[in-house]
A and B are shown apart, each in its own frame.
Chain A
């Protein structure tokens, strides 16, 4: 997975490309959680993300909890339909702040 960090208005954007699975989830976790200490407004851009398994959901849940803990926010945007369906099946659609493509 490739993660590109950008700054946009008042938010930090992490563009994720590829697969968020058991192998790559630790990579996102290592980048995502510390970002909230720099700027509590975080956007995950999933435009080029093609796959999420439960290991990936676990990291997103940790990120969401951290966002709440620091009084910030985590928005997941540009999510493709196949991944929206994964969020719906697991109830994560209600846990995360999700913006579709």
Chain B
């Protein structure tokens, strides 16, 4: 499993995406894009809220499993379980739409498994994107 440690800062987004892309070998292009979106949404959320107004870092692990790709985010910021966040109402007309929570909703919909735990002062969020055909290219 590869690991990257970066500042929890929006200007590190490209570095994070590039790192995770390195572990997407078994995924077809569409699944890569979807995992990319999930990683962006999760990292942006951590960078925006985990330590604010202070600064901190995020540890990201990416693993290419036989049946897909697993990405783990660890941060020492304020305890926050994104899975308890209420999903926004996506049936409202444009004028009534609010955008809060949309990123996390996308992260959930774009991945096959997402789990959260808080351990030793760390938020640990794990996402898995399964290869649609079981990993055979």
| B-binding residues in A (CB < 8 A) | 21-23, 50-55, 57-58, 61, 64-65, 68, 82, 86, 89-92, 94-96
Contact = CB atoms under 8 A, between A and B. Distances in A.
| Interface residue tally on B, bucketed by range | 20 to 34
Contact of A51 (B37, B90, B92): B37
A51 B38 CA distance: 12
B41 A89 contact: no
Interface of chain B, main secondary structure: helix
Contact of A58 (B14, B40, B99): B99
Contacts, number: 62
A54 B13 contact: no
Interface of B: 10, 13-14, 29-30, 33-34, 36-37, 40-41, 44, 90-95, 97, 99, 102-103, 105-106, 109-110
A95 B106 contact: no
A61 B105 contact: no
A54 B102 contact: yes
B99 A54 contact: yes
Contacts of A65: 94-95
Given A51-B36, A51-B37, A68 B13 contact: no
Which has the most chain B C-beta neighbours within 10 Å: A52, A53, A91, A94?
Answer: A53
B33 A50 contact: yes
